[in-house]
Chain A
Amino acid sequence: GQNIDQPTEMTATEGAIVQINCTYQTSGFNGLFWYQQHAGEAPTFLSYNVLDGLEEKGRFSSFLSRSKGYSYLLLKELQMKDSASYLCAVRSNTGKLIFGQGTTLQVKP
């Protein structure tokens, strides 16, 4: 079966660091993606991991452990505009993305 789990909601303070976890159990694996989605808008690509380890991109970093079926997205120096949903998605061997429910992050002043 296909199962991707993320926390439903998180709250953090402006300027802080937040880590959003994602665990997955899928029948195939061809990379893990993180997208950001503001309410009523399209998902926008944040990061991609296919090998174990940390990928850093400015204020955003993503980590993958394939043996543990685990990833996290790290957001540093949080800004109010980072309030959004963060979607974890596994790409199957056929190319389709399998999404988790998404984590709604609220950044407070």
Chain B
Amino acid sequence: NAGVMQNPRHLVRRRGQEARLRCSPMKGHSHVYWYRQLPEEGLKFMVYLQKENIIDESGMPKERFSAEFPKEGPSILRIQQVVRGDSAAYFCASSRAGVGTDTQYFGPGTRLTVL
């Protein structure tokens, strides 16, 4: 039983480049959430997606950030023109359903470093 998979685990980008972070949910889970953890800070919600739908993007910065969860394949969090302040750990979580008693299970995270 594979858990939530994220890749890459570590990503280094120079300012102005693009970063693509991938997340494959647990088997049987169709709800994906992205969270960001800045150094020495708590986890902050970014976006919640179901297959082909964005349900809640209230935590996404208005510019440079986008997310998708296509019918086939992993969810992608895309950051364009990265800046130093984007350096953080990005965690993906998945659940079977969005509400009710379902627990969100977290992947190992992608640690993004912007030089």
* Chain A bound to chain B: yes
Q: Which residues of A contact B (CB under 8 A)?
A: 30-31, 33, 35, 41-45, 48, 50, 87, 89, 91, 93-102
Prevailing SS type, chain A contact patch: loop
**A to B contact number (C-beta, < 8 Å):** 62
Report, nearest first, the 5 A-B pairs whose CB atoms are least far apart: A95-B98, A42-B106, A99-B43, A101-B42, A96-B45
Q: Which residues in B have their C-beta under 8 angstroms from that of A41?
A: 108-109
Q: Distance (Å) between the CB of B58 and the closest chain A CB?
A: 8
Q: Which residues of B contact A (CB under 8 A)?
A: 4, 31, 33, 35, 41-45, 48, 55-56, 58-59, 91, 93, 95, 98-99, 101, 103-109
A87-B43, A95-B99 as given contacts; A42 in contact with B48, CB under 8 Å = no
Query: Is the pair A96, B33 in contact by a Cβ cutoff of 8 Å?
Result: yes
Alpha-carbon distance A35/B101, docked complex (angstroms): 15
Query: Is the pair B48, A44 in contact by a Cβ cutoff of 8 Å?
Result: no
Query: Is the pair B48, A99 in contact by a Cβ cutoff of 8 Å?
Result: no
Between-chain CB contacts (< 8 Å), 14 pairs:
A31-B101, A33-B103, A50-B101, A87-B42, A94-B48, A94-B55, A94-B98, A95-B31, A95-B56, A95-B99, A96-B59, A98-B45, A100-B42, A102-B42
A42-B106, A96-B59 as given contacts; A101 in contact with B41, CB under 8 Å = yes
Query: Is the pair A97, B91 in contact by a Cβ cutoff of 8 Å?
Result: no
User: 20 other contacts beyond A95-B99, A96-B45, with CB at 8 A cut-off?
Assistant: A41-B109, A42-B4, A42-B107, A42-B109, A43-B43, A43-B91, A50-B101, A93-B99, A94-B55, A94-B56, A95-B33, A95-B48, A96-B33, A96-B59, A97-B43, A97-B45, A97-B104, A100-B42, A101-B41, A102-B42
Q: Which residues in A have their C-beta under 8 angstroms from that of B43?
A: 43, 87, 89, 97, 99
